[in-house]
Structure 1
Amino acid sequence: MHVGVPREIKNHEYRVGLTPMAVAELIAHGHQVSVEADAGLAIGYDDSAYRAAGARITDARGVFEQARLIVKVKEPQASERALLRADQVLFTYLHLAPDREQTEALLASGACCIAYETVTDQYGGLPLLAPMSEVAGRMAVQAGAGCLEKARGGRGVLLGGVPGVPRGKVVILGGGVVGSNALAMAVGMGAEVRVLDRDPQVLRRLDRQYGNRIQTLFSTSVTLEEQLVEADLVIGAVLIPGAAAPRLISRAVLARMQPGAVLVDVAIDQGGCAETSRATTHAEPTYVEEGIVHYCVANMPGAVARTATQALNNATLPYVLALANKGLAQALREDRHLLAGLNIAHGRLTNGGVGEALDMPVQGLEDALETLD
């Protein structure tokens, strides 16, 4: 199969779909790979490294014209969506639930689109979302701590405090992969940390791990409001796979928070968990509403692109190989977890969460499989 790797063009996105090592693996399996010029240059993978791995270097149009399988990192931008064809497979993060424009364009393309974030595993996890969730969770506290500095609009609070001065209060909404990694960083920085979740098993796991260094709380509307109004830093780490994030923080509650407090909404890829959240970029990462600094960058791991690319490739390469070696239909039939990643198939939406969020009709995955032969 011919595999294509375009250069990411989203604002300050430096990750790349395949590293030279991953390309070499595909070449060893008898596949062809086209990589857009300078796709990995910003993170130390220059064109010569890709050529040495066996790839052909071309421009964006060349990648899309030649490849049957397009491997990316972020959702295709408008100029990229215009290049997609009905005989192609797109494998990338999509986050369609809050993005009607992208969804309609991908449906119109006729391509089959597999979203990293809805591929599952035998343990009930999301193996292709997990590595970036780990990165984003760890970055969230780092970013939030910086935003708390007075010069950046924050309260002027040091999360770890100093002797004789209270520590900063961090409230984490959700104890999954993002929340657990944010928790590790916040505890490491010496903050006073509280984690809210609605799953008692998650709370027990975190309590066993951290003991009295943190406080775990079952999330109710009353408890949530009580914690938010006292917080210096709030990390939005909630996730409903494939669906829009629940809006847990209303504008009214936000207005009661301490002026200069910070919200890092990691759930922004799925629409955000606050009524006031809207996607930002690394170029302009923050804005202030109701006196609260909002950090809502939709591609946070792009800031640590080399680490993030390597972690992502470790997770995605086995699936890329399966798609290239077996073809789309056979790969999906043999791996029901990969099938869960199919969001769009030949003009039909196949993910229930996205359909519910956008009020669009959905074709069942089994029916979609029949159209792939």
Structure 2
Amino acid sequence: MIIGVPKEIKNNENRVGLTPAGVAELRKHGHSLLVQAGAGEGSGFADSEYEQAGAVTLPTIADVYGQAEMIIKVKEPIAEEYPLIKENQLLFTYFHFASGEELTHAMIERKAICLAYETVELPSRALPLLIPMSEVAGRMAPQEGAKYLEKPLKGRGILLGGVPGVKPAHVLVLGGGIVGTQAAKVAAGLGAQVTIMDISLNRLRELDDFMPKNVQTVYSNEYNIREAIKTADLVVGAVLIPGAKAPHLITRDMLKTMRPGTVLVDVAVDQGGCIETCKPTTHENPTFIIDDVVHYCVANMPGAVPYTSTLALTNATLPYAVQLANLGWQEACRRNAALRLGLNVVHGEVVYKGVAEAWNLPLVEVDSVLEGATV
């Protein structure tokens, strides 16, 4: 199979879809790799490293899309990439269709095969291709929140861990999954007083068993959230419903009950956000203020630490990429139920329930698409 790795062109996105080690592994299986010149520079990988691993470097993004049967990326295609995508071309990347109506319709129109990292799901309900970036974003959230709590950046002027004789900051984490757990651990490690909320009592019991003593677990409901945000200095939104829009746990009217300079970090913003007033921002302009509350809503947080993120992502995606390349997407998805759940849009049809519901589109059963496909 001919596999293409284009340079990411989303604002301040420095990650790349495949490392030189990933290229070498796919070459070992007999596949051809086309890498756009400069694609790995932001992550610290030179063109020469890709060439030594067996890839051919091409000068433009159009060259890569034009020749590749399968595209491996990090973030969803943006508008200028839409015309480059060919019918029947396999795109293996993060899509987050449930928060992007324009993107959804564009991929339907292009009749590509869109296999989304974020909805590849194991029988255990784990999301193996989302976990590494969730770990990175979760660990970054308190780090970014601590920065924007500084007064010159319009925060409350509070040191997250406090000092002897002065109380530490109160950090509220909404969601006890991968992002929330990592955020709570880092915030607690910095010395903050942390409250983590979730709707699963079983998950709260698990968290209670291994979290340090400065982390409290509280059942998540509207009343408890409204009470907690009154004293929170930093709120981390870490809610995920796979492939679907995140629910709004903090609404516009709640902002008036927060203290001026409170910081909100909505890690769920690429799935629509769990804070109503959040809208996607970039690393170039990461924050905005509503009702004196600082909103940090960067949709590609791990892009700020591209070396770590690219290595972590390739570690997770490469085994699936090898299956797709070796077997073809149809047979790979027939054999691997986790990969099959990654299919979101196929040949102009929406095959993932969360995407169809988000934009009121007809849903086609994925099995019927696979039955009609030839290897």
| Structure 1 counterpart of 2:101 | 100
Quick check: 1:9 aligned with 2:16? no
Q: Cα distance, 1:232 vs. partner?
A: 0.0
SS at match of 2:216: strand
| Structure 1 counterpart of 2:36 | 36
8 Å CA contact retained: 1:179, 1:237: yes
| Structure 2 counterpart of 1:121 | 122
**CA RMSD, aligned part only?**
0.8
SS at match of 1:97: helix
8 Å CA contact retained: 2:185, 2:211: no
Give the structure-1-normalised TM-score: 0.99
Q: How does 1:53-64 map to 2 (within 5 A)?
A: 53-58=53-58, 59-64=60-65
Identical pairs, percent: 52
Q: Cα distance, 1:214 vs. partner?
A: 1.2
| Structure 1 counterpart of 2:298 | 297
| Structure 2 counterpart of 1:244 | 245
8 Å CA contact retained: 1:98, 1:358: no
**Distance in 2 (alpha carbons) for counterparts of 1:213 and 1:53:** 47
Structure 1: which 4+ aligned runs deviate by more than 3 Å?
A: none
8 Å CA contact retained: 2:94, 2:117: yes
Q: Cα distance, 1:270 vs. partner?
A: 0.3
Q: Cα distance, 1:312 vs. partner?
A: 0.2
Quick check: 1:86 aligned with 2:87? yes
**Distance in 2 (alpha carbons) for counterparts of 1:221 and 1:148:** 25
**Distance in 1 (alpha carbons) for counterparts of 2:218 and 2:280:** 28
Deviations 1:230-285 (A, max 9, x none): 10000000000000000111111111101000000000000111111000000000
Question: In the alignment, residue 265 of structure 1 is paired with which amino acid?
Answer: D
Quick check: 1:20 aligned with 2:20? yes
Give the structure-2-normalised TM-score: 0.98
SS at match of 1:82: helix
Aligned length: 373
| Structure 1 counterpart of 2:184 | 183
SS at match of 1:273: coil
8 Å CA contact retained: 1:97, 1:270: yes
Q: Structure 2: which 5+ residue stretches go unaligned? A: none
8 Å CA contact retained: 1:90, 1:114: yes
| Structure 1 counterpart of 2:169 | 168
Question: In the alignment, residue 241 of structure 1 is paired with which amino acid?
Answer: P
Q: Structure 1: which 5+ residue stretches go unaligned? A: none
**Distance in 2 (alpha carbons) for counterparts of 1:123 and 1:112:** 25
8 Å CA contact retained: 2:188, 2:212: no
Quick check: 1:266 aligned with 2:267? yes
| Structure 1 counterpart of 2:329 | 328
| Structure 2 counterpart of 1:354 | 355
8 Å CA contact retained: 1:7, 1:39: yes
8 Å CA contact retained: 2:169, 2:192: yes
Question: In the alignment, residue 78 of structure 1 is paired with which amino acid?
Answer: A
8 Å CA contact retained: 1:328, 1:372: no
| Structure 2 counterpart of 1:65 | 66
**Distance in 1 (alpha carbons) for counterparts of 2:366 and 2:129:** 19
**Distance in 1 (alpha carbons) for counterparts of 2:126 and 2:245:** 18
Quick check: 1:130 aligned with 2:131? yes
| Structure 1 counterpart of 2:369 | 368
Q: Cα distance, 1:122 vs. partner?
A: 3.0
Deviates more, 1:117-126 or 1:184-193: 117-126
SS at match of 2:179: helix
**Distance in 1 (alpha carbons) for counterparts of 2:345 and 2:355:** 10
Question: In the alignment, residue 219 of structure 2 is paired with which amino acid?
Answer: F
Q: Cα distance, 1:211 vs. partner?
A: 5.3
